[in-house]
Structure 1
């Protein structure tokens, strides 16, 4: 009897607690919003879930989707246009990837940045220019190539730089313009605008044809003049971005991460003001990317359909 009781006690007392999760977050390049919010999320996961977290700086959307889909990262930031290609297995992806989402985060805005004293005065003036179309395997590169094709620009010399490198290259004359998709404001572009007179090129004429061609993943958006201290507002293309995850992530862990993001929204806002746009009622609008079942459970508990 004593031995039996001892076995029962040992069985309950000797069970090891579950190991803290080990997570990898794929963010973006230095000077971008993905990087700032990703670092803040990593800090929250370490302090609240006692997780071991590694943050990868990447080219952003396309690279992040490949990493998450192939198991090289657990969580990633990605634009919905790139994610739609990933789940379909369309180029630049070679097969359908098991990508789902925790939530829609905020809308990104296409920035086409040129010097105010440069040759490009509207989006139809890109022919013959040297442009940074974004880092290779980024969402920026995906949308930039669609824009270059959409306006029929010819003889464009492309180089592939992140936003901080693009800003520096425009300032020193290595390039004549650059593309970048991000929330508002983008720190590297705001810093550039304080040093060099810049112009943002309007792209709103492409929204309607892009909506038809690319399954309505793009939106009509406006960059207010005050964001970068420019003389006028700039109509442009918007694209939602998502916090993505591999569909095989543990259900309970996915739910806890989703809950933690909303519980800690104020702390994420301190990392970047775009986090103020994170709300449960808009977070579920991730079409055509399915929500992870753990995230679905959280939204159901919050009475969000």
Structure 2
């Protein structure tokens, strides 16, 4: 097991679960992104280590849809982008008039990177070159679209300047490959399978953001942070590309049983190597990352685990 900054809790995953919590639904995203394999890996861990619990990863439209599923109790756990989670919790942005105050976090699990992809032969060299083009901005109800729109609008680019297409990750890759669109956005933990597959069949180029474009985006969304896509991440990517990153949060409903939330948090951090084996994005799943990046209060069960391992929990992460 990977060594954490904090000493591992001595207790084992042995708390009895309430009968109503034995069947757990994990809302993820499309099969071409990272949410689905991460959710599937977490489901396998739950089924293996938490006695009496059975979990299933569900394909969804990702972040925005997932917050609604948590609010209504149609999912027990969900992955969602930090800006989406914060907007839902505060009733701002796309959630104006439909605040989801019962949002609680178990952890922040890894950062997404906004990745803008085009073919190497394209004349698109920057986001300003998207004018007049056909561009996928992500699936309806996804955090990708929220992030793409925030980055573009912060830099004076609106949907009126190009032809937006709302496609999921696999559809975006196929449309770029077939020449049906000129470029597409992904907001996902890199590397992601749909871009890897596209790069294996066509020469691609990732479009970076300038320092000024990143600063403009950060003024639009405080959760944005500079992020560098490493050279060699995808075939033909010879140089690092500068973009922005956004934390992903594992969220639950405030009504989740405290013992269950405790066990799930403990499971995530004390068996993290099993999730890393599913996808390398889980290398960023650390207690430090959770304390620094989570935008909404933690569930009391998660707080109990973090207190046991000696984590310093900021006041902003404790429910009022």
Match of 1:68 in 2: 70
1:106 has 2:110 as partner: yes
Q: Secondary structure at the match of 2:144?
A: helix
TM-score in terms of structure 2 length: 0.86
The runs of 4+ residues in structure 1 deviating greater than 6 Å are none
Aligned to 2:192: 186
Q: Provide the secondary structure at the position in 2 that maps to 1:200.
A: strand
**2-structure distance, mates of 1:152, 1:167:** 26
Residue in structure 2 matched with residue 243 of structure 1 by the alignment: 250
Q: Is it true that 1:123 corresponds to 2:124 in the alignment?
A: no
- Residue equivalent to 2:170: 164
**Whole-angstrom CA distance in 2 between matches of 1:146 and 1:52:** 38
Instruction: State the alpha-carbon separation in 2 of the partners of residues 119 and 241 from structure 1.
Output: 32
Gaps (5+ residues) in structure 1? 1-15
Q: Which has the larger radius of gyration?
A: 1
Displacement of 1:18: 4.8
Say if 2:107 and 2:294, in contact at 8 Å, map to a contact too: no
Equivalent of residue 292 in structure 1, options 292, 296, 299 = 299
Deviation, 1:17, is 8.6
Number of equivalent positions: 289
Distance 1:84 1:22 in 2: 27
**Match of residue 202 from structure 1:** 208
1:95 is aligned to 98
Instruction: Report the more deviating stretch, 283-292 or 193-202.
Output: 283-292
Do structure 1's residue 134 and structure 2's residue 138 form an aligned pair?
yes
Q: Normalization by structure 1: what TM-score?
A: 0.90
Answer yes or no: is the 8 Å Cα contact 1:88–1:95 preserved in 2. Answer: no
Task: Specify whether residues 151 and 17 from structure 1 end up closer, same or farther in structure 2 by C-alpha distance, changes over 3 A only.
Answer: closer
Q: 3-state DSSP class of the match of 2:94?
A: coil
Give distance in 2, aligned partners of 1:159 and 1:48: 42
Alpha-carbon shift at residue 286 of structure 1 (Å)? 3.8
Unpaired segments of 5 or more residues in structure 2? 1-15, 313-320
Tell me how far apart the structure 2 counterparts of residues 248 and 264 of structure 1 sit (CA, whole Å): 25
More deviation in 104-113 or 148-157?
148-157
CA shift digits 1:22-75 (9 cap, x unpaired): 211000101211100100111111222231323211111111111112211110
CA distance in 2, matches of 1:17, 1:96: 29
**Closer, same or farther: CA 17–283 of 1 in aligned 2, 3 Å:** closer
Query: 1:207-266 CA deviation, whole Å, 9 max, x = no partner?
Result: 22222232x210001101110131211100111111111111111110000001112111
